[in-house]
Amino acid sequence: MPLFMDVHHIDGGVGIDDVAKAHQADLAAQGDHDVQYLRYWVDEDQGQIFCLVDAPTAEAANTVHREAHGLVADEIYIVQEGV
């Protein structure tokens, strides 16, 4: 299954605790869509969130975000993990 990195831009910054709650909501919703959210990174001051997700399609990954908390990604990239 492809790996995707999605990027969210939140005006005014974002708190890591809020992102952690949204991630937990993603984990609760992902099973219905054959999606697995693996990790996330946050730049609180710049309001940027990066999510690594194993999903059949970019739309499936965004569907989980939409259903879990409504914050869909602004950008989604297919990626390959390097060593």
Of the candidates 36, 50, 72, which has an alpha carbon nearest to the alpha carbon of residue 6? 50
Angle at 2 between CA 47 and CA 39, to 5 degrees: 40
Domains of the chain: residue spans and CATH: 3-79 (3.30.70.3090)
Q: Show pLDDT as tens, one digit a residue, over the chain (83 residues).
A: 899 999 999 999 999 999 999 999 999 999 999 999 999 999 999 999 999 999 999 999 999 999 999 999 999 999 998 98
Total-model pTM: 0.92
Cβ-contact 1, 60 below 8 angstroms? no
pLDDT at residue number 6: 98
How far apart are the C-alpha atoms of 8 and 6, rounded to whole Å?
7
